[in-house]
C-alpha cells in the first residue's frame, strides 16, 4: 500500500456517520445558502480562535482577497509578504490591484524575516501580511511593533495554522484581520473548498458580510461593489462537526512530529525547528537535505510520497515577473525551495506507516550520504 503525504480516507471512514447526518439535516432544513450552519460555524470557529467575528467565504484565497478589500487596499498600495508561500497569498494581493513586496525568510524556520521589514516600508505600504507557514506563527510581537510604528494594518494568513499559538495567543487573533482556508488537506479541512475571515472590528465585519454577498446590505440592494463568495450550508455543517475534533487532530499531529523528531534525530536531515514562543500544529513536517530530489525519487520507488512546499519561490514564477524581482533577490527562500520536502503527516497516519517512512529514509540516506 502506498503511503501518501496526506490522506483523508481513514478519517472519513471514522467520521462518516456524523458527516452524513450533518448533510442530511441541511438537505431537510430547506436552507442551502447562508443559513444556521454558516452562522453557527462562524460563531464556533471565531470563538475557538478567540476572535469576535467570523465571515465564511468560499476559499482561503477569497478570505485573503476580501480581507484586503475590507482594509481598503487597492491600486497604489503595497502589501509586504513573503515569496515562500502558496501562490494565493500573492494572487490575492494582486487581485486587489495592490503590489506585493517581498522579504526573505529566516532559514531555519522558513518564516518571514521580520528584521527585514523596515527595509522595504515605503510611503505606499499599507499592510503587512505574515504567513503562519507549515503550522507555526511568525513573530507577531515584532510585526505588531513595526506596524504600530508605521501605522500599517496586519492581515494574518492562517491557512496552514488553525489552532497554532504564539505566546498564548491563537493564530488569527493577533492582528486587524485574518484569513483561514478549509481546503481538504488543511488542519481543519472540509470536503471541498471553503474559507473564513476573522476580525474583532465590527465595521470590518459588516463590510465583509457585504463583500461576500454581491455588496448587498439588504435583499437586492448593493451598498457597494461586491462578490459572490459564500461558504455553503453543507460545508459549514461538515466543518462544524470537524471543529469538535480539531484539538484531537492537532494532538495527533504533535505526537507524530515528536516521533519523527526522535526517530530521525541521528539522520543527516535537517528537521523542523519551532520558533520560540510557538506551539506548532504541524500542518507539514518539513525536512531539508541538499540531495532532496534523489531522496524523493528513491522514496517514490518504495511507494512513499512526500510533498515540496514550495519548489518555486513566487518571485521567480512567470506569472509574477511583472513585480520586477529576479533570481538572487531572496537567497534563503531560493535555497530552501531546492532543499525542503515534507514527510507524510495527517492525524490518521499510523505509527506503523510512520515507521516504514523512517526506515526507508534511513536506508536511502545511508546510500546517498556516502555517495
Ligand atoms: C498559505 C496559504 N494561503 C492561502 C491559501 C489559499 O487557500 P484556498 O486553497 O482555500 O484558496 C493556502 C492554501 O492552499 C495556503 O496554504
Q: Each residue of 230-282: pLDDT tens digit?
A: 999 999 999 999 999 999 999 999 999 999 999 999 999 999 999 999 999 99
Using pLDDT thresholds of 50, 70 and 90, give the confidence band for residue 138: very high
pLDDT (0 to 100) of residue 136: 98
Query: CA 82, 77, 333: angle at the middle one, nearest 5?
Result: 10
Q: How many helices (H) and strands (E) does the chain have?
A: 12, 14
Cα→Cα distances 149→68, 82, 117, 129, 255, Å: 20, 20, 12, 16, 40
What's the pLDDT tens digit per position in 153-169? 999 999 999 999 999 99
Q: How far apart are the CA of 316 and the centre of ligand 1, in A? A: 19
pLDDT of 371 higher than 80 = no
Using pLDDT thresholds of 50, 70 and 90, give the confidence band for residue 369: confident
pLDDT (0 to 100) of residue 370: 78
Between CA 156 and CA 147 the distance in angstroms is 13
SS3 145: helix
Using the atom order of ligand 1, give the atom closest to the CA of residue 64: 4
Residue 303 in grid coordinates: 511507494
Q: How far apart are the CA of 242 and the centre of ligand 1, in A? A: 19
Q: How many CB atoms lie within 10 A of CB 259?
A: 14
Alpha carbon 92 to chain centroid distance? 14
- Bridge partners of 278? 166
Q: What is the CA radius of gyration of the chain?
A: 21
Query: Which residue's alpha carbon is at the smallest distance from atom 8 of ligand 1?
Result: 60
Total count of residues recorded for the chain: 371
* CATH number for domain 9-103+110-243, candidates 3.30.465.10, 2.30.30.40, 3.40.50.720, 3.40.640.10: 3.40.640.10
Distance, first Cα to last Cα, the chain: 29
Between CA 312 and CA 329 the distance in angstroms is 13
Q: Which fold has domain 246-368?
A: 3.90.1150
What's the pLDDT tens digit per position in 280-325? 999 999 999 999 999 999 999 999 999 999 999 999 999 999 999 9
Strands 177-181 and 78-82: unpaired
Ligand 1, CB cutoff 6 Å, lining residues: 59-61, 85-86, 88-89, 131, 157, 159-160, 181, 183, 193, 195
pLDDT of 149 higher than 90 = yes
Q: How far apart are the CA of 35 and the centre of ligand 1, in A? A: 25
Between CA 365 and CA 40 the distance in angstroms is 49
Amino acid at each position: 500500500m502506498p503511503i501518501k503525504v496526506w490522506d483523508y480516507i481513514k478519517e472519513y471512514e471514522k467520521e462518516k456517520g456524523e458527516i452524513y447526518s450533518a448533510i442530511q439535516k441541511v438537505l431537510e432544513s430547506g436552507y442551502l445558502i447562508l443559513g444556521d450552519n454558516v452562522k453557527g460555524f462562524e460563531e464556533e470557529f471565531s470563538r475557538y480562535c478567540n476572535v469576535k467575528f467570523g465571515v465564511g467565504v468560499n476559499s482561503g484565497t477569497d478570505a485573503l482577497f476580501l480581507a484586503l478589500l475590507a482594509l481598503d487596499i487597492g491600486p497604489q498600495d503595497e502589501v509586504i509578504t513573503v515569496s515562500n508561500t502558496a501562490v494565493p497569498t500573492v494572487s490575492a494581493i494582486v487581485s486587489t490591484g495592490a503590489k506585493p513586496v517581498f522579504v526573505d525568510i529566516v532559514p531555519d524556520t522558513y518564516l518571514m524575516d521580520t528584521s527585514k521589514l523596515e527595509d522595504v516600508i515605503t510611503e505606499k505600504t499599507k499592510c503587512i501580511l505574515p504567513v503562519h507557514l507549515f503550522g507555526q506563527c511568525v513573530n507577531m510581537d515584532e510585526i505588531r511593533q513595526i506596524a504600530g510604528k508605521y501605522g500599517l494594518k496586519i492581515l494574518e494568513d492562517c491557512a496552514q495554522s488553525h489552532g497554532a499559538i504564539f505566546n498564548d495567543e491563537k493564530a488569527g487573533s493577533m492582528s486587524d484581520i485574518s484569513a483561514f482556508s478549509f481546503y481538504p488537506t488543511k488542519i481543519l479541512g472540509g470536503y471541498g473548498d471553503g474559507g473564513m475571515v476573522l476580525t474583532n472590528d465590527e465595521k470590518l465585519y459588516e463590510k465583509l458580510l457585504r463583500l461576500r454577498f454581491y455588496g448587498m446590505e439588504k435583499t437586492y440592494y448593493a451598498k457597494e461593489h461586491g462578490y459572490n463568495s459564500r461558504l455553503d450550508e453543507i460545508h459549514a455543517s461538515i466543518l462544524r462537526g470537524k471543529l469538535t475534533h480539531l484539538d484531537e487532530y492537532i494532538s495527533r499531529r504533535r505526537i507524530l512530529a515528536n516521533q519523527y523528531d526522535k526517530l530521525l534525530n541521528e539522520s543527516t536531515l535537517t528537521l523542523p525547528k519551532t520558533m520560540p514562543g510557538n506551539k506548532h500544529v504541524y500542518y507539514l513536517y518539513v525536512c531539508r537535505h541538499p540531495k532532496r530530489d534523489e531522496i524523493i525519487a528513491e522514496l517514490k520507488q518504495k511507494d512513499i510520497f512526500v510533498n515540496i512546499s514550495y519548489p518555486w519561490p513566487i518571485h521567480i514564477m512567470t506569472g509574477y515577473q511583472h513585480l520586477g524581482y529576479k533570481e538572487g533577490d531572496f537567497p534563503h527562500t531560493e535555497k530552501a525551495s531546492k532543499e525542503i520536502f515534507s514527510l507524510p503527516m495527517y492525524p490518521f497516519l499510523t505509527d506503523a506507516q510512520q515507521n516504514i517512512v523512517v526506515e526507508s529514509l534511513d536506508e536511502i540516506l545511508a546510500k546517498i550520504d556516502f555517495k
